[in-house]
Amino acid sequence: MDDEGQPYEPAVIEPRWQARWRDEGTYEVDNDDPRPKSYVLCMYPYPSGAAHMGHVRNYTFGDLLVRYRTMNGQAVLSPIGFDSFGLPAENAAIKTGEHPRPFTEAKIEELTSSLLRLGASYDWRRVIKSHDPSYIRWTQWIFLQFLKAGLAYRAEAPVNWCPGCQTVLANEQVLADGTCERSGDLVQRKNLEQWFFRITDYAQQLLDDIDDLDWPERVKTMQRNWIGRSEGATFHLPVAEREDLSLEVFTTRPDTSFGMTYAVVAPEHPIVAELTADDRRAEVEAFVAHVTGESELERLSSEGPLDKRGVFTGAHVVNPFTGDPIPVYLADYVLATYGTGAIMAVPGQDQRDWDFAKAYDLPVVRTVLPPEDFDGEAYTGEGPAINSEWLDGLGVADAKAKAIEWLEAKGIGERTVQYRLRDWLLSRQRFWGCPIPVIFCDDCGIVPVPEADLPVVAPDDVEFLPTGESPLNHHAGFLNVTCPACGGPGRRETDTMDTFVDSSWYFLRFADPTDDEAPFSLEAVAEWLPVDQYIGGVEHAILHLMYARFFTKALADLGVAPKELREPFARLFTQGMIRKDGMKMSKSKGNLVTPEEYFERFGADALRLFHFFVGPPQDDMDWHDAGIEGSHRFLGRLWRLGVGEAPGTVVDREATPADVEQDRSRHRLIQRVTDGYERWSYNTSVSAFMEFTNGLYHYLQSEDGARRETLDAAVDSVLLLMAPMAPHITAELWERRRGGHIHTEPWPVADPAMTTVATVTMIVQVNGKVRDRIEVDAGIGDDDAVATALASAKVQAHLNGGQPKKVITRPPKLVNLVV
């Protein structure tokens, strides 16, 4: 590039435009904006410092949509916030003794500057931070509404205790191998008083409403599986020789009840002590002690011999179907928390029951006739009932229905539905979270903090203990309060909320972020919600999305949110993960790649373009930066076109057929790119830009040169179409060429008359093999197509003088001659 040229310098132009968008409030929208409304939201980030490539990918996709829809004349709500409570800040505090707040705020600053440097467009007036007292206040207020409505409750529950984090974990935070997702420690089991949200009240709604969501099918399936609805029956098995006692079981296969040859109870089940025969007591107690002392890992991984996993109680219950007494066992694989904590065992129809029966030498009775060629053990398939008296001959579904009718008629059981979904345990024994706003009083019990006293904010003068225990437990000023009900001495709850609580309503607050009368106004939420397009990582497919859906439904039912608002996110897009060397990119693995160096070397536009180009946005990608330079190179080509420094000749003339053809390809580009943006097919859109730009270089260097008017229209169209992808370079070139602000220009529209092509390459096949390609008129008919095909010497050579037996025509694209 010579000194007189106008070099492409992203490091100069990008910050200038970023400052301008922020200072002018280009992407600020008011709630009474008259344009059609659209709400585009990327999942708000945990502020861990400067952005990494995962953030870049997420916010780049979101930003394209915001800018694209804005150019399409919509008022786009595009807010950003920070999920700023959480463990990393607290762990840092424990290490350094510094309070998590300044630490967190510094991280927010860093992340904000990365987002700005990326060119992401937000309404910066609406920023939300979970740890901000004005946000804490309303999170606590919502908690109190849930408490009032019975949706929040306190219960003693076996919990997952992480010894490393000194805290309780939700089931979701325990990995499949029984370790803590954060610390990697082995999770233990412990009984503690904890706060829960009654999400199970909404299990059926959460399940039903999945159907209407425009979400990836994969995510919908995960949610359905997580809720895990199963239909069946619960019924009572009277304990033999104990008039007063019965064992309640849940089964999905009441049709197989005649084959029930024993029953199994969870070791933690309250009935165990009463059930156990005296001569078995020692052994049973040893077993229970062993099982409850087991870590989650040991208990779940017990795949070995079953004879160590159960114990006979010495008691019998009566199978109400046969009237026969059957033995009762304890086994570690029966869960106290699912169903009734006890099961009927039908070894003939359930493989696990079969295995247990074999290990303990218990009888097997088949109640469904297996097919003749069946050579397995338990048979779980379809077939007529056998050995089942009045059910014999019925198919599975009919037998189920009849068995349930019988149970209900006898008054010993009923049809029931069970869900795998558990209530949401939200207590965390942490400091850096939203305090749970209740006070314990010896006289009044649990007393909610009066709404006027909110927010309850953790004190600053605290000392972080190396044990990891929350300093709130030792802060007298925070701990000791007067009971708001009786004025007597009270003690504050020191647990804080799971950070998923904060993220369960932030998208509502964005509609009305400074409201100090309510978490948000009904009107503001009605204007913007549901979110039209939610964008985030697939790792949040289950928990965050489930909790946010629950909150939305509960808040709507409580009248806090509009009653009609049943779902928070109408459309969801889950982008793929970025991996490095086959591993998930994460700070803890130390394989984070940050965008800063690329901003410097190639610019934000090149990095953004690379993310669009590298592959389909929903696919996982392995990080490699090989393509970024290519994106930068392409932007350089665009730049030279834009400033008139691309090689070739430009002339003023009346349009020649070649000029018209060039302009047609411009219209096809508009069509192709617009379609690509709608379909999230960004990689193909970039490829269309490159193809088109290559075409312009050829056009310029062609013998006749480029017609100025045609060329200008082509370049301007590319700039407009690329503005959502590469907002800085397009804005800069537009301003230099045309004046004004490209991002407030209307989206270009293709002229349908100009998107068609005059001639098409027709392929001619002989017996399905391509033998010739002939340029034909796009409007060619069957007969002409065949005639053209037969006229081809190449085709004739392959026909060997014979006549085709069959001719398939798909004019103007194809003729296939079959000999």
Instruction: Provide the minimum distance between the beta carbon of 307 and RNA in the complex, in angstroms, as a whole number.
Output: 13
- Among 139, 145, 251, 662, interactor with RNA by CB under 7 A: 251
Q: Which two tokens stand for residue 448?
A: 């909610």
Of the candidates 346, 331, 316, the one whose C-alpha atom is nearest the C-alpha of residue 254 is: 346
Q: How many CB atoms lie within 10 A of CB 665?
A: 18
Please list, in sequence order, all residues whose beta carbon lies within 8 angstroms of the beta carbon of residue 66, skipping any fewer than 6 positions away.
27, 40, 76, 78, 121, 724
Q: Which two tokens stand for residue 86?
A: 């959480």
- Is-contact 79 513, C-beta < 8 A? yes
Q: Does 482 bind RNA (CB under 7 A)?
A: no
- For residue 691, the surrounding DSSP H or E stretch is helix 682-701
CA distance 472 to 494: 6
Indicate the residue among 9 and 691 with the shorter CB distance to RNA: 691
Q: Which of residues 281-310 bind RNA (CB under 7 A)?
A: 299-303, 309
Q: Does 538 bind RNA (CB under 7 A)?
A: yes
Measured distance between the N- and C-terminal CA atoms of the chain, rounded to whole angstroms:
61
Q: Which of residues 542-601 bind RNA (CB under 7 A)?
A: 542
The interface region with RNA, picked from 215-223, 281-289, 497-505, 783-791 by CB under 7 A, is 215-223
Q: Which of residues 36-75 bind RNA (CB under 7 A)?
A: none
Q: Does 767 bind RNA (CB under 7 A)?
A: yes
The interface region with RNA, picked from 69-77, 399-407, 503-511, 639-647 by CB under 7 A, is 639-647
- Is-contact 221 213, C-beta < 8 A? no
Q: How many CB atoms lie within 10 A of CB 34?
A: 7
Q: Does 210 bind RNA (CB under 7 A)?
A: no
The interface region with RNA, picked from 148-156, 194-202, 658-666, 770-778 by CB under 7 A, is 770-778
Instruction: Provide the minimum distance between the beta carbon of 126 and RNA in the complex, in angstroms, as a whole number.
Output: 32
Q: Does 3 bind RNA (CB under 7 A)?
A: no
Q: Does 322 bind RNA (CB under 7 A)?
A: no
Burial class (CB in 10 A: 0-12, 13-18, 19+), 30: exposed
Q: Does 339 bind RNA (CB under 7 A)?
A: yes
Q: Does 416 bind RNA (CB under 7 A)?
A: no
Q: Which of residues 385-404 bind RNA (CB under 7 A)?
A: none
Residues in the chain: 819
Instruction: Provide the minimum distance between the beta carbon of 818 and RNA in the complex, in angstroms, as a whole number.
Output: 5
Instruction: Provide the minimum distance between the beta carbon of 85 and RNA in the complex, in angstroms, as a whole number.
Output: 23
Strand partners, 536: 574
Indicate the residue among 23 and 375 with the shorter CB distance to RNA: 375
Q: Does 758 bind RNA (CB under 7 A)?
A: no
Indicate the residue among 535 and 638 with the shorter CB distance to RNA: 638
Instruction: Provide the minimum distance between the beta carbon of 619 and RNA in the complex, in angstroms, as a whole number.
Output: 5
Q: Does 653 bind RNA (CB under 7 A)?
A: no
Q: How many CB atoms lie within 10 A of CB 107?
A: 22
Q: Does 636 bind RNA (CB under 7 A)?
A: yes
- Is-contact 511 525, C-beta < 8 A? yes
What letter represents residue 415's amino acid? R
Of the candidates 724, 684, 742, the one whose C-alpha atom is nearest the C-alpha of residue 76 is: 724
Across 382-393, b (16+ Cβ under 10 Å) vs e yields ebbbbbbeebee
The interface region with RNA, picked from 69-77, 200-208, 313-321, 536-544 by CB under 7 A, is 536-544
- Among 3, 4, 176, 375, interactor with RNA by CB under 7 A: 176
The interface region with RNA, picked from 134-142, 151-159, 343-351, 448-456 by CB under 7 A, is 343-351
Indicate the residue among 477 and 806 with the shorter CB distance to RNA: 806
Q: Which of residues 74-113 bind RNA (CB under 7 A)?
A: none
599 — alpha (psi -120 to 50), left (phi > 0) or beta?
Answer: alpha
Q: Does 810 bind RNA (CB under 7 A)?
A: yes
Q: Does 769 bind RNA (CB under 7 A)?
A: yes
- Assign 652 to helix, strand or coil: coil
Question: Cα–chain-centroid distance for residue 270?
Answer: 38
Q: Does 698 bind RNA (CB under 7 A)?
A: yes
- Among 4, 156, 217, 244, interactor with RNA by CB under 7 A: 217
CA distance 192 to 164: 17
Burial class (CB in 10 A: 0-12, 13-18, 19+), 744: exposed
Indicate the residue among 34 and 647 with the shorter CB distance to RNA: 647
- Among 163, 314, 627, 705, interactor with RNA by CB under 7 A: 627
- Among 647, 657, 746, 752, interactor with RNA by CB under 7 A: 647
x/- letters, 431..470, toward RNA (CB under 7 A):
----------------------------------------
The interface region with RNA, picked from 38-46, 108-116, 218-226, 748-756 by CB under 7 A, is 218-226
Q: What angle do CA 67, 70, 75 make, to 5 degrees?
A: 130
CA distance 143 to 129: 18
What value does the CA radius of gyration of the chain take, rounded to a whole number of Å? 34
- Among 485, 697, 713, 784, interactor with RNA by CB under 7 A: 697
Alpha-helix runs per DSSP H in 461-505: 476-479, 499-502
Q: Does 343 bind RNA (CB under 7 A)?
A: yes
The interface region with RNA, picked from 108-116, 336-344, 386-394, 506-514 by CB under 7 A, is 336-344
Instruction: Provide the minimum distance between the beta carbon of 525 and RNA in the complex, in angstroms, as a whole number.
Output: 31
CA distance 627 to 614: 7
The interface region with RNA, picked from 105-113, 195-203, 544-552, 607-615 by CB under 7 A, is 607-615
- Is-contact 184 165, C-beta < 8 A? no
Q: Does 334 bind RNA (CB under 7 A)?
A: yes
> DSSP secondary structure string, 509-577?
HTTSTT-SSSSS-HHHHHHHPSBSEEEEEGGGTTHHHHHHHHHHHHHHHTTSS-TT---SBSBEEEEPP
Q: Which of residues 347-376 bind RNA (CB under 7 A)?
A: 350, 352
Indicate the residue among 222 and 658 with the shorter CB distance to RNA: 222
Q: Which two tokens stand for residue 556?
A: 């709507």
- Assign 746 to helix, strand or coil: coil
Q: Does 158 bind RNA (CB under 7 A)?
A: no
Indicate the residue among 39 and 500 with the shorter CB distance to RNA: 500
Residue in the block written with tokens 């100069």: 12
Indicate the residue among 162 and 638 with the shorter CB distance to RNA: 638
Instruction: Provide the minimum distance between the beta carbon of 344 and RNA in the complex, in angstroms, as a whole number.
Output: 7
- Among 153, 338, 623, 747, interactor with RNA by CB under 7 A: 338
Q: Does 702 bind RNA (CB under 7 A)?
A: no
Q: Does 1 bind RNA (CB under 7 A)?
A: yes
Instruction: Provide the minimum distance between the beta carbon of 203 and RNA in the complex, in angstroms, as a whole number.
Output: 12
Instruction: Provide the minimum distance between the beta carbon of 347 and RNA in the complex, in angstroms, as a whole number.
Output: 11
Of the candidates 497, 464, 457, 499, the one whose C-alpha atom is nearest the C-alpha of residue 478 is: 457
CA distance 457 to 132: 9
- For residue 317, the surrounding DSSP H or E stretch is strand 310-318
The interface region with RNA, picked from 140-148, 186-194, 223-231, 272-280 by CB under 7 A, is 223-231
**Count of chain residues binding RNA (CB under 7 A):** 93
Q: Does 801 bind RNA (CB under 7 A)?
A: no
- Is-contact 728 605, C-beta < 8 A? yes
Q: How many helices (H) and strands (E) does the chain have?
A: 26, 32
Q: Does 252 bind RNA (CB under 7 A)?
A: yes
Q: Does 687 bind RNA (CB under 7 A)?
A: yes
